[in-house]
A and B are shown apart, each in its own frame.
Chain A
């Protein structure tokens, strides 16, 4: 059954959280560091590694400095939100469950043309790749849907299914708005609170910072420092703090890129450096979980034997 559409951005988030909570997902919160996508959250990147089962859903604030448009473009932001779902192993009915989540948002599959269009995701910095689709809603991409095949250079066994909803796009659709800034985020006693009320100034100022003021002289050595720190931490077997250094290095690179401070050839080298960190971290994480005896594996089999 198709539900009523959520009226506000915050209702949209609640509806998705409720839906995926009902699917047995642990509902987490946005990670408190700068990152380009929900995939970079350790609840996806690290949890997709190794044999342990895992189901999580969360909103992740995503930062892409080069996408900033000083608040002038109604469709592009340097800071926006993804609703991320990771299901490991990917259930066999994952597409049906996803379509049910759209119904829960009031999107009727007999009214709207919903399609899975090939798009194989790849992240050169994370050493990750997968097979999947972008999901079209009447021709508009609203979700990235991926079966992870490799993460941090490690083959995925079992395979995780990742669903990343573009929240702003879906909200624009549901609310019938042509500009992100006109979206109703919530409702106050004085009337609707718009996305623009909350974030427009942020887009203007952050764009200025990203493109004009970010201090490249400070960023280059900072990248090197994150890299060195990450190396030291992986050597010490501390995968989680090491991974935070990967995130920092990655965001630093994105800022340098937005400042056009890295030449085309150099760019490849930086990407490779980050990938090497991500791979070392992935290996350290796997080793750490293995040393712990992959505890979630035991929990899962215990639950199964109780069930039968």
Chain B
């Protein structure tokens, strides 16, 4: 057998969407890898490449042929294949003919139900050259494209117009037509630096040829690392540190083929504008890296990544400085302009901004949030007057020019303008914190006021949008209710707020300007519980543990959390398994028993094992009850774990279903008491345990 070969596929396109470039490349790479494997051509390594103008995959160590396969075709059963005299029937003859052989050449296959005629043949595997073109076409057709397009008068659809395709096995070009283009061995380099087509001599030399002759670093990670290195180097040379993040680095990497970092300056006077605004301008609009000095303060400089080794770098630098100047001037103008009016003075304008047609304007919403927030003030230990104030001006920054231009600065600008207006520090902080957490892993509000405001705001939105019948369905969640629900839950749990969520939702629903369906609060509550499930799944908590607590439907998420922690700890105990199993068993007994007396009568317990269980149960009830009240479920479950021997002993030695009706009923009542004790915390019968 010949040594394995290297396969190369490159799709050359017009500039691809940067934010989905990597995802697209990963999907293509995985598609080729899996498809090669499932076609008996599994490679040693499959590597993806991508740049603005190309998606490529290189598979190393691809076998040259698929292995031969034994194909088995089942025919009629022996009974149907031969008549009484042993002569082949029409069915047998027909089957043999369809296989192109005589009946005598067919094999036999046995199964439990009888014996059948069978035709076995070796199907020779195809060679790579003949298999790969179709395989590649299928993978390309199945790519999850963010947005398909057509171009010119062609019928082909792709993310961007396709101009060239390379499909090679070692030095050989494969005969293929992909995305409307005939495959060849010609790639293209950098638009300006290497405008002529480059010929690839061998599939294994792809990346080297592009880098050495084409001014293209085709490997995304390599390009990204180079950018990160250049940024760091330039920042150090400028006496600062670059403000970078993964998303920005990824996006910049997807926008260039040959990165060249350069430092630009802007007028120091703009440093009077809040740094968040400047950072937003530089990163968001221009994909620049801002620079910080030794004290963590912004410097009047930025790093841009050009896609060119310019013959006159000074012009590129000056050009970029020209772009940022009017943008910063705008930001400075908004900053000066917005501060001419206080946030509070804008409150009357909130009535002119629709929140949602049926749910009124932002003034209406702010009033609702203020009311709901006041109810939280006690638990959160914050001043109701401050809370009212914060709620009433919470949305006013949405009316400023700055937030109009930079919507992502909502809240942050609220804080700056509130400080400027002389609002209390706590109010200013709450205006920013109301939007926390903004994304998974983001911090929750630090201040009580911020927590109260953030919680009230989300519960009002959830109640309102559910009330008008627009709850999320499937992928559709236009009001981001899933995120709102999770944020509210995180605030109560991580902020350790003992709040009755259902009661709060009921109040929020009642405050909506539309008539809610009966049971709507429960619907919202259940929706939030589903988010809670996702929250714990993300933390690796088992579904059964979650279900065990959910079965009790605690109304306060913090209470839920404490029960869940206790249940998780409980299942680590050696007693857990057998107690879970016992509870399952008890549940079955109770279900079959139907009517169960409220309490058992201790004097009617006659067997030692049942008397022992009753005593132990009484003891644990006594010690656990104060623990329930303190929500110290973990200690309570520890206490309950000590029941294990008594419970096991009971089931080993006592016959619950005694013929004597009174004894039987009394024993069932005893078990019911035991079950109810556990149910104070969770339905442990749902936990893993052998029965």
Which of A21-29, A131-139, A216-224 sits within the interface?
A: A131-139
The A-contacting residues of B in range 355-382, CB under 8 angstroms, are 357
B144 at the binding interface (Cβ < 8 Å): no
Chain A neighbourhood of B315, CB < 8 A: 111-112, 138
Q: 1/0 per position for A93-113, CB-CB distance to B under 8 A?
A: 001000100000000111111
Which listed residue (A92, A109, A157, A264) contacts B163, Cβ 8 A? A92
Q: 1/0 per position for B123-156, CB-CB distance to A under 8 A?
A: 0000000000000000000000001011111000
**Are B319 and A138 touching (Cβ within 8 A)?**
yes
Query: Shortest beta-carbon distance, B439 to chain A, in Å?
Result: 22
**Are A89 and B152 touching (Cβ within 8 A)?**
yes
Which of A55-63, A114-122, A207-215, A248-256 sits within the interface?
A: A114-122
**Are B14 and A95 touching (Cβ within 8 A)?**
yes
CA distance A139 to B308 in the complex (A): 12
The B-contacting residues of A in range 134-153, CB under 8 angstroms, are 137-140, 147, 149
CA distance A116 to B16 in the complex (A): 9
Query: Shortest beta-carbon distance, B455 to chain A, in Å?
Result: 27
B353 at the binding interface (Cβ < 8 Å): yes
Chain A neighbourhood of B323, CB < 8 A: 138-140
A91 at the binding interface (Cβ < 8 Å): yes
**Are B319 and A265 touching (Cβ within 8 A)?**
no
Query: Shortest beta-carbon distance, B111 to chain A, in Å?
Result: 55
B40 at the binding interface (Cβ < 8 Å): no
The A-contacting residues of B in range 304-323, CB under 8 angstroms, are 304, 306-308, 310-312, 315-316, 318-320, 322-323
Chain A neighbourhood of B150, CB < 8 A: 147, 149, 156-157, 159
Interface residues on A, range: 35 or more
Chain B neighbourhood of A99, CB < 8 A: 191
B161 at the binding interface (Cβ < 8 Å): yes
Q: 1/0 per position for A62-99, CB-CB distance to B under 8 A?
A: 00000000000011000000000000011110010001
**Are B354 and A139 touching (Cβ within 8 A)?**
no
Q: Number of contacts between A and B (CB, 8 Å)?
A: 106
CA distance A95 to B307 in the complex (A): 17
B192 at the binding interface (Cβ < 8 Å): yes
Query: Shortest beta-carbon distance, B276 to chain A, in Å?
Result: 21
Query: Shortest beta-carbon distance, A51 to chain B, in Å?
Result: 9
With A140-B319, A265-B354: A111-B310 Cβ-Cβ less than 8 Å: yes
Query: Shortest beta-carbon distance, A262 to chain B, in Å?
Result: 11
A173 at the binding interface (Cβ < 8 Å): yes
CA distance A133 to B161 in the complex (A): 13
B17 at the binding interface (Cβ < 8 Å): yes
B513 at the binding interface (Cβ < 8 Å): no
**Are A113 and B18 touching (Cβ within 8 A)?**
no
The B-contacting residues of A in range 11-34, CB under 8 angstroms, are none
**Are B307 and A115 touching (Cβ within 8 A)?**
yes
Which listed residue (A112, A137, A158, A264) contacts B310, Cβ 8 A? A112
Chain A neighbourhood of B286, CB < 8 A: 139
**Are A109 and B192 touching (Cβ within 8 A)?**
yes
Chain B neighbourhood of A109, CB < 8 A: 191-192, 308
A301 at the binding interface (Cβ < 8 Å): no
**Are B310 and A113 touching (Cβ within 8 A)?**
yes
**Are B255 and A117 touching (Cβ within 8 A)?**
yes
With A92-B161, A110-B311: A115-B319 Cβ-Cβ less than 8 Å: no
Which listed residue (B15, B147, B191) contacts A117, Cβ 8 A? B15
Chain A neighbourhood of B163, CB < 8 A: 92
**Are A113 and B15 touching (Cβ within 8 A)?**
no
A263 at the binding interface (Cβ < 8 Å): yes
**Are A173 and B319 touching (Cβ within 8 A)?**
yes
**Are A89 and B322 touching (Cβ within 8 A)?**
no
Query: Shortest beta-carbon distance, A151 to chain B, in Å?
Result: 13
CA distance A30 to B273 in the complex (A): 41
CA distance A90 to B153 in the complex (A): 8
**Are A75 and B308 touching (Cβ within 8 A)?**
no
Nearest residue, chain A, Cβ from B262: A113
Q: 1/0 per position for B1-23, CB-CB distance to A under 8 A?
A: 00000000000001111110000
**Are A118 and B15 touching (Cβ within 8 A)?**
yes
Chain B neighbourhood of A263, CB < 8 A: 352, 354
Chain B neighbourhood of A178, CB < 8 A: 322, 325
- Mind listing 19 A-B residue pairs with CB under 8 Å? A75-B326, A89-B152, A92-B163, A109-B191, A111-B311, A111-B316, A114-B192, A115-B256, A115-B307, A117-B18, A118-B19, A138-B316, A138-B318, A138-B319, A149-B150, A159-B149, A178-B322, A264-B354, A265-B354
Which 10 interchain pairs have the tightest Cβ spacing?
A: A138-B319, A158-B153, A116-B15, A109-B192, A113-B306, A131-B149, A89-B153, A139-B320, A140-B323, A118-B17
